Amino acid sequence: MKKIYVLISLILGVCLISCGSKPQVEDTKPEAPVVEETQSLEVEDTEDVTEVEEDVELINEDVSIQEEDEEEYLRSTQALSADEFVTKDEFTEDKAEILRIIKELQKVMEKEDVEAWLKYVDKDSKNFYSNPVNIRKVNKKLPNKAIVLNGIGDYFKYVFIPSRHNREITEIRYISKTNTKAVQVHEDGSITRYYQFIKVNGKWYVQLDRV
């Protein structure tokens, strides 16, 4: 009888233990969606493509600028004789210096400062327009007969300034290595000359038109 009682007790104990212990469910963290990683990679790839396109555009711009510079150089030097040659560096320096002088002359013209203007004019031109005979010849050529030129100062005020003030000068044309024209280039490719320069002892001076 005792054995049966003990057996029953063991069976009841096992049942109680089995019912009391519930299986624990492990908390599993959701994995990062693969789609998000793909999207991130796609953004990075797009940025790389954009950077490459920008680099290509910059390269194309540089090539275009170089081609334009080459074309301008050829236009500027095409009238030179076979005995004369101006390098690209010389052309770049000459153009920069001439445009700088023209920019300064714009300020001089605004003030109508004759004395300052004469510093930019070559010696032969000053001598020519200081001669009363030559001034009278120039006066006769003027379309406005109401203007009377009494000297080089009047020529500066009534002839030089009106025909050049606030003009857009963008290029130069060599006549020789020491003589150039400063011109405005129009959309149709034609040009208008507004200045002529002569180089004396390595320095560029304005050369005035003669009658």
pLDDT tens for each residue of 129-156: 999 999 999 999 999 999 999 999 999 9
pLDDT tens for each residue of 32-55: 555 454 454 455 566 666 666 666
* Confidence tier at 208 by pLDDT (50, 70, 90): very high
- The mean per-residue pLDDT over the stretch 2-10 comes to 53
pLDDT of residue 11: 57
* Confidence tier at 58 by pLDDT (50, 70, 90): low
- The mean per-residue pLDDT over the stretch 85-98 comes to 97
Domain residue ranges in the chain: 72-206
| Phi, psi of 26, deg, nearest 5 | -70, 135
Average pLDDT, the chain: 83
